[in-house]
Amino acid sequence: MRRLLLKGGRLLDPASGLDRLLDVRIQNGTVKAIGVSLPAAGATVLNVKGLVVVPGLIDVHLHLMNGLGAFGADPDLFGVGSGVTTVVDAGSTGHSLFPVFRRYVAEPARSRVLAYVNLSTLGSVAGPGYAALADPRLIDEEKIAAVVEANRDRIVGIKVMATGTALGAEGLKPLKRARRLADSLQLPLLVHIGESWGRGAEPPPIGKVLAHLRPGDIVTHMFTAHPGGLLDPNGKLWPQVCDARDSRILFDVGHGLHNLNFDVARRVLDQGLQPDGVSTDGHRGNRAGPVYDLPTTMAKLMALGFSLSQVVEMATANAARLLRREKELGAIRVGRPAEITVLRSEEREWEAVDSQQGKLKARQALVPVFTIRNGAVCDPLPSERP
């Protein structure tokens, strides 16, 4: 029976409206008490004075089929190894490989691993540069439905690539099929925009993509500078983007090697469109930069003008809502599993770099100190974050 007491920290939990000095007592992996100056009473005391205690951070877009191709990363690298307790794979596997992902990747991880199942049977096996959705035989609604029903505890939606490269000659037909399937399964779609892998392929117009989406669906790579993004040639949001936001379609950052551009981000933010989710699009090829980890991506949003509590809200309460898991995740509450991140917020100047080597002066850095999940204290892995 392991007891822990987080003592003297700043508890910042936007879902609960809390931002003040409060202790947290944990017993057998569950939050037992939140209060001022709680007594040790036999617990191991973790002194978190000067640190920020937040609900376990949630990274809603990553590539976690560990060992697959150039991308598949160990979930714990971007998870508890980066101060994050929940990591979400963005469609590495289609229906046929999902059970392998579950058994050999998700279940052994120390981080909580959720996933979007890919509309394409190939998933990411062939890499994003292939026309994986152009062959209608590689979309099998019955088999996807079966794998979803067997894995509702892990599968949070269906991943679709809305790029010219992936769709090929099929155009938006695969997206139409995804729409019908998502409706029948009552799951959201996660839609990749931005022709980041194209060799001259023409992306579908964003308005036509958004026309297939419903409230609660997610568009990822909202700050992409690649063709197929949210801005028209004059740098204005396409009108259908504003309509989509008004009808509660959600927008996610999805930093990645290609898709966080500070100039695009500024224009999008200046026109009033804010991210619902902040995510790394992390994989094996970007943890050494430009992405590093979720805390660094959150700090980049702070350099763009968001406050600490706003980015924490994105990575906790909002992310949980985006995943439709707000009853389990995204808050520190008595009686819930203790999934907690402890961060150090450092006042120092550093240079934030985007996916196109654009630079921005940042004045605050976020450094993971440890996480708590399943009653265990997990230290972060080494990182070269700036």
User: Binding residues for Zn ion, per CB under 5 A?
Assistant: 90, 281
Which CB sits closer to Zn ion, 74 or 281? 281
Alpha carbon 357 to its chain centroid, in Å, reads 22
Which CB sits closer to Zn ion, 258 or 373? 258
Q: Are 97 and 122 in contact (CB under 8 A)?
A: no
Q: How far is the CB of 350 from Zn ion (least distance, A)?
A: 25
Q: How far is the CB of 258 from Zn ion (least distance, A)?
A: 9
- State the Cα–Cα distance between residues 215 and 365, nearest whole angstrom: 34
User: In the numeric block, which tokens belong to residue 68?
Assistant: 């697959």
Closest residue to Zn ion, based on beta-carbon distance: 281
Which CB sits closer to Zn ion, 62 or 372? 62
Q: How far is the CB of 3 from Zn ion (least distance, A)?
A: 39
Which CB sits closer to Zn ion, 54 or 73? 73
Quick check: bond before 108 cis, omega within 30? no
Which CB sits closer to Zn ion, 23 or 281? 281
Name residue, tokens 């640190």: 51
Which CB sits closer to Zn ion, 90 or 264? 90
Tell me the backbone φ, ψ of residue 46, rounded to 5 degrees. Answer: -105, 110
Which CB sits closer to Zn ion, 280 or 341? 280
- State the Cα–Cα distance between residues 129 and 53, nearest whole angstrom: 40
Q: Is 112 helix (H, G, I), strand (E, B) or coil?
A: strand
Q: How far is the CB of 71 from Zn ion (least distance, A)?
A: 8
Q: How far is the CB of 301 from Zn ion (least distance, A)?
A: 18
Q: How far is the CB of 154 from Zn ion (least distance, A)?
A: 18
Q: How far is the CB of 63 from Zn ion (least distance, A)?
A: 6
Name residue, tokens 């938006």: 172
